Copies of this chain bind each other. A is one copy, B any other.
Amino acid sequence: MLSYVPFSELARIRALDVAATERAAAFADACRVNTLTMIEHAGSGHIGTSFSSIDIVSWLQLEALGQDDRYFSSKGHDAPGLYAILIGLGRLPFDKLFALRALGGLPGHPDVLTTPEVVTNTGSLGMGISKARGFVLADRLAGRRGDVYVLTGDGELQEGQFWESLQPTANRGLGEITVIVDHNKLQSDTWVSQVSDLGELERKVEAFGWAVARCDGHDLDTFSTTLTELRGRAPDRPKLLVADTLKGAGVGFMEPHALPQEETALYDFHSGAPGPAAYAQALAELIERLNARLAGIGADEIRLEARESPRRTPPERPQRLIHAYGEALVAAAERAPSLVALDGDLRLDTGLVPFQERFPERFFECGIAEQDLVSQAGAMALAGLLPVCHSFACFLTPRAAEQVFNNASEGTKVLYHGSLAGIVPGGPGHSHQSVRDIALMGSVPGMAAIEPYCEAEVRRAVAWAAHEADGPVYLRLVSPPWPLGFDPPAAELVEGQGTVLREGEAGTFVCTGPVLVSQAWAACDALDGWGLVALPWLRSIDGAWLAEHAPGAIVCLDNHVLPGGQGEAVLNAFAASAPEAAARTRLVGVDGIPECGTNDEVLHAHGLDATSLVELLRA
């Protein structure tokens, strides 16, 4: 069972006749309960940063923001905490509490189109101050005056755009802007100080002409006093308040007290649902904390309501590409002593933990600084190393698009790993669903681009990239463990060619990645005479081979938008070497900005699940 604080109880807390800071702290604790439940119900969500910021955001929303003011979080992944607050204020429907990361519900990261209470879309880091400046300049031009409060992370401050935006904001004297750093000292993997230390943060920001202060971000008396003092200090200067917080604040075992100050330490509660046992423990602790607070201000204890937990079944015999990648990279590095790995604070999610353990001196943690990471790798390649750059596809390929091209212009070999590719997982939302990366990487002259559909193909692809490719390679990987519905056959990796998984004379699906291959496989089961070719090459396709092995109508599926995707690469290859096949090819891909929802919902919404494919081809 899941427990939550009903709206009437949240309204009761908001109406308590006590000091504003005490009221806000109690409201925040009540919202912690609902945030926890929201994430456990959704099965994923960023709990650590929702809890580190929820006292601050509660204070801003309850007491600080005026009607013409704006608040948004630049990091964006604290969205569950914000949603719980807006629900508690009656500004979002209460039933949305059980619609986190569901289609038509509340997206994993902020989205203005589905959630009008949200001010701007975030989730890709470092954009907050730039956006704040845009709002203020637009307001000034229209003769309006509104303050803008921006919450940032601390790991987020590794992004160059944050620093790029500081000086122009000071130069224009935009005193309307107040930035609050949720300084919980932990980023995705581990301690900020271990990933890429921020140095003297206050001194740095002050040197850019900002007014700066620092205080506890959980003690609202201190926080509100410091905020007021800072905002009064310099009317024509933007302000930044470093708020010292605890990641996971409010739940003892989610706070990082026991986490060693080591590079290899890993924090457990950045994202993901706690699971039943940890949920129950956290819930009990939060209720006790909330009731103690209510008792302390003479209020009745909280009344909770309950709801069934949703049931989830784990996938059967899934392909775990990231795990396979981690092992394959270590094997490649054993054979290639020049191979080094660079990471953008996603060591766990990109499968780099085994590499770091095996080759600590060849592992370079770069933090959330993709431009810096990729240019650094370029110089390493010039100096004789074989660098492999790691991040999510959604960050690595657009944020370092220029640096990747610059490296390619030097004729060196740099490898790029982009995981979390495509529209699943569907929960995080469009900031994390990478649907442009083939276009971005495939348009770099000389870049090979490859996406495996099974673990064995991951191993083949990594070995090919490390030992055989003579130029840069983009390796695109689907992240969630995913069942294919069949056992992948043994196969060789042949440049430009793929694997015929099933034959059919009526038509042939052409695609790659476990998500699309599994959907196409299931569609073949329902259609008469359809075959399936898994084609790992995203560019530089052997059109003659494919035309010969893809009889009938050809349907290219893209876990990507059509422009610049694999389907267009197939057409391009056909135009060059098998024109007749071009006339029997159609393309199906992601249309529009990716939807947020469960994986099944998202695949269906974009017409890429087996059912939609069967319908399309029977129409």
A-to-B contact residues, CB < 8 Å: 111-113, 119-122, 124, 126-127, 130-135, 137-139, 141-142, 158-165, 167-168, 170-171, 196-200, 203-204, 206-209, 340, 361-362, 364, 366-367, 369, 371-380, 382-385, 387, 395, 397-399, 401-403, 405-406, 408-411, 430-431, 435-436, 439-440, 442-446, 539, 561-565, 567-569, 571-572, 574-576, 579-580, 582-587, 590-593
Contacts of A561 in B (CB 8 A): 443, 445
- A410:B112 contact, CB within 8 angstroms: yes
On whether the beta carbons of A376 and B133 are closer than 8 Å, the reply is yes
A568 with B564: CB separation less than 8 A: yes
A-B contact pairs, 17 of them (CB 8 A): A120-B382, A124-B406, A127-B403, A130-B375, A134-B378, A137-B380, A139-B383, A160-B371, A163-B163, A167-B199, A171-B196, A409-B430, A562-B572, A563-B569, A576-B586, A579-B583, A582-B582
The answer to whether B399 touches A134 (Cβ under 8 A) is no
Copies of the protein in its oligomer: 2
Of the listed residues A126, A440, A575, the one surrounded by the most CB atoms of chain B closer than 10 A to its CB is A575
Return the contact of A383 from the options B134, B382, B431 (Cβ within 8 A): B134
- Find chain B residues with CB under 8 A from A576 CB: 586-587
Let me know if A164 and B168 touch, CB within 8 A.
no
Q: Enumerate chain B residues within 8 angstroms of A171, measured Cβ to Cβ.
A: 196-197, 199
Task: Say whether A572 contacts B593, CB under 8 Å.
Answer: no
Cα-based distance from A564 to B447 in the complex (angstroms): 14
Contact B369 A410 (CB under 8 A): no
Q: Which of A539, A561, A592, A593 has the most CB of B within 10 A?
A: A593
Nearest 8 CB-CB pairings of A with B:
A134-B379, A160-B160, A160-B164, A564-B564, A163-B163, A138-B383, A130-B375, A439-B443
Q: Which residues of B contact A139 (CB under 8 A)?
A: 383
Whose C-beta in chain B lies nearest to the C-beta of A142?
B384
Q: Chain B contacts of A373 at CB under 8 A?
A: 130
CB distance from A457 to the nearest CB of B (A): 22
The reply to whether A409 and B111 contact each other, CB–CB distance below 8 Å, is yes
A173 to chain B, nearest CB (A): 12
**B141 pairs with A385, CB closer than 8 A:** yes
Known: A113-B411, A583-B583. A436 touches B431 (CB 8 A): no
- Contact, CB under 8 Å: B198 / A167: yes
Name the contact of A409 in the complex, choosing from B121, B372, B380, B583 (C-beta under 8 A): B121
- Beyond known contacts A120-B378, A440-B440: 4 more, CB 8 A cutoff: A124-B406, A138-B385, A401-B401, A408-B593
Per the bound structure, the CA–CA distance linking A160 and B158 in Å amounts to 10
Q: Kindly list chain B residues whose C-beta atoms are within 8 Å of the C-beta of A411.
A: 112-113
Bound: A444/B204 CA distance, A: 35
The reply to whether A164 and B163 contact each other, CB–CB distance below 8 Å, is yes
8 Å CB contact of A379 from B130, B167, B379: B130
Known: A161-B372, A163-B164. A567 touches B572 (CB 8 A): yes
In the complex, what distance in Å separates the CA atom of A138 from the CA atom of B338?
10
Are B582 and A583 neighbours in the complex by a CB distance under 8 Å? yes
A138-B372 contact given A399-B402, A402-B124, CB 8 Å threshold: no
**Contact (Cβ within 8 A) A564 B378:** no
- Give Cα A163–Cα B565 distance, bound, in whole angstroms: 34
Using CB atoms, name the residue of chain B closest to A371: B161
A590 (CB) vs chain B CBs: closest residue: B445
Kindly provide the distance from the CB of A309 to the nearest chain B CB, expressed in whole angstroms.
32
Most buried by B among A130, A387, A395, A442: A130
Closest to A399 in B: B402
Name the B residues within 8 Å of A162 (CB-CB): 160
Distance between A577 CB and nearest chain B CB, rounded to angstroms: 10
**Max chain B C-beta neighbours (<10 A), residue from A126, A375, A380:** A375
Residues in B with CB closer than 8 Å to A379 are 120, 130-135, 138
Contact A120 B443 (CB under 8 A): no
CB pair B593–A585 under 8 Å, yes or no, is: no
| A278 smallest CB distance to B (angstroms) | 33
- Once the chains bind, are B579 and A584 in contact (CB under 8 Å)? yes
Q: What residues of chain B lie closer than 8 Å to A196, measured between beta carbons? A: 167-168, 171
Give the residue name and chain of the B residue nearest to A569 (CB): B563
A132 to B379, CA, bound (A): 7
**A445 in complex: contacting residue of B137, B408, B592, CB < 8 Å:** B592
Bound: A146/B112 CA distance, A: 51
Considering the complex, give the chain B residue whose CB is closest to the CB of A202: B207
CB distance from A440 to the nearest CB of B (A): 6
Please tell me if the beta carbons of B135 and A405 are within 8 angstroms of each other in the complex.
no
Using CB atoms, name the residue of chain B closest to A162. Answer: B160
Decide: B204 and A445 in contact? CB cutoff 8 A: no
Candidate in A113, A385, A398 with the most chain B CB atoms within 10 angstroms: A398
- For A204, give its contact among B138, B204, B571 (CB under 8 Å): B204
- Chain B contacts for A436, CB-based, 8 A: 401, 405, 440, 443-444
A383 CB contacts on chain B under 8 angstroms? 134-135, 138-139, 142
Please determine whether B442 and A564 come into contact, CB atoms closer than 8 angstroms.
yes
> In the docked arrangement, what's the CA distance between A399 and B132, Å?
20
> Contact: B204 with A200, CB < 8 Å?
no
Q: A170-B199, A340-B141 are in contact. Are A410 and B120 (CB under 8 A)?
A: yes
Q: Are A592 and B446 in contact (CB under 8 A)?
A: yes
CB-CB < 8 A to A585: which residues of B? 575, 579, 582
- Rounded to whole angstroms, the CA-CA distance of A439 and B564 in the bound complex is 6
- Cβ contacts under 8 Å, A209 to chain B: 199-200
Interchain CB contact (< 8 A) of A398 among B119, B164, B395, B401: B401
